[in-house]
Structures are given as C-alpha cells and as structure tokens.
Amino acid sequence: MKILVCISHVPDTTSKINFTDGDTKFDTNGVQFVINPNDEFGLTRAMWFKEKQSASVDVVTVGGAEVEPTLRKALAIGADNAIRVNTPAQGGMQVAKELAKVVQDGGYDLVIAGRESIDYNGGMVPGMLAAMIDANFVNTCVGLEVDGTTATAVREIDGGKETLKTSLPLVIGGQKGLVEESDLRIPNMRGIMMARKKPLNVVEPVGAVQATDITSFEKPTPKGEVKLVDADNIDQLIDLLHNEAKAI
C-alpha cells in the first residue's frame, strides 16, 4: 500500500500572532512553525500501516523553502520520502489542485490529510482533493483499518460515530482519535540523523490560480476587565448578567 500524508506548516498555538501591511499579511517574525496537529495524527496512523502492513509513506506540503524543516520532522518521525510543491499556499482550491497532481503522478492508494489546518481552519482541501482525483472520501475520520483494497473507517457525526466500508483509492480528513495524543511520536536522534539522508523532492507547481484573496485580518476583541461581585449581593450579580453581559 502506498500512502501520501498531506502536511500543513502552521504556527505553534503558543505563538504570538501579529499582522503587517495594514493587517493584510501575517507576520512570521518570531513565530515557531510545527506540523498541523490534525496532520500529525494522520502521519502517526500512516506509520502504523508502515510497521504493521509494510506500507510506504510519503509526505507532501505546498510552500516555499521555509516549510522544509517541517517536512524534515515528518521524515525524522519515519516517513520514507518528502515532496515540496514549490509555490506558496494561497487558498484551499489552489492547494488541492497542486496536491492532486502529486497524487496522480505518485499513484497513491491512500491519502491522509487533516480535516482542517489550525491556522485558517478552512476544512476544504481533503474533500476537494478527493473530488479532483475521483477517490472515495471520509471526513472527520477517527478510525481507519485497511485490508487489501477495502478500508473500514470510523467518522464522527452529530451525536455519535459512524462506521463505513469503502474501497481504495481513498482520501480521509483525519483528526484526534485516528490515534490518541499519547501515540504521537517525537523524533529521536537516530530518526533525525536518518532524515538528513532521505529524499526531499522539490516539484514545480501546475500553476493553479488561487480562488480567494485575503483582504484583511482582525484579532479577536480583547477580554474586558473582570468584575467581582460580593457573594451576598445576588441582586447586583443578576443585574450585571442581565443588563451588561446579556447572558440572561
């Protein structure tokens, strides 16, 4: 089985976020970038298939040279090869079109992507990619087994979970539950050294045009000051909740 894991290069959640050029561009200065968490769950599941079923695992991302440390981390975790599509990621449709070419050229049986990235939270790429390559698609996937050309997937739905059987080729949008957080892998020294010798292939883009433009960014409204109410002053508490907080 040949697996491709789609990796997003995203800011660490502890990073301080700022914008430049009149709030039209994301300021990357001082920001630490990591593998998108939803993608990391998928990569860990792919490693299980590699170890248990002798699958081959490639990773891919769309971006400039700045994303290569993230790909190298994926290689250090255990991926066999890395692919970087040499163009900035500028929107879900554009990224999906670039990834579709990689999938078609590579002849992959299973494509594992995160259901969304934690920076823009678009949640569009896996579904669009599946449509472009005419593959089956399971989103919000929290469980996956493959037996030959048959896959059994578990996905979250409103109020519960649903188990599906489908055939390869398959694209999934994975998330926490595909593996548990305790299963995630930290690259060890041997993995880091081996990653330096593994292929990181740079491919030229197909020239997909972005379908959307970012006009501006806006930070959430800062939290207001906390008002303390005496435990015995219930009338004041009710008045504040009703007239100021509009909570009741």
Cβ–Cβ < 8 Å for 73, 39: no
Q: Considering all CA atoms of the chain, what is the largest pairwise distance in Å, rounded to the nearest integer?
A: 70
Coil, strand or helix at 80: coil
Q: What residues does each domain of the chain span? A: 2-215
Summarize pLDDT for 111-155 with one digit per residue, the tens. Answer: 999 999 998 888 999 999 999 999 999 999 999 999 999 999 999
pLDDT score for 130: 97
State pLDDT tens for residues 36-58: 999 999 999 999 999 999 999 99
pLDDT for position 162:
97
The predicted pLDDT at position 138 comes to 97
- Residue 224's pLDDT is 79
User: Which CATH number is associated with domain 2-215?
Assistant: 3.40.50.620
Share of the chain above pLDDT 90, in %: 76
196: tokens are 């330096």
- Do 73 and 86 contact (CB within 8 A), yes or no? no
Which pLDDT value is given to residue 78? Answer: 95
Which amino acid, residue 135? Answer: A
Where the chain has pLDDT below 50, the residues are none
pLDDT of 211: 84
Q: What does the pLDDT read at residue 120?
A: 86
Q: E strands within the chain?
A: 2-6, 9-11, 19-20, 25-26, 33-35, 56-62, 81-85, 110-114, 136-147, 150-157, 160-167, 170-174, 200-203
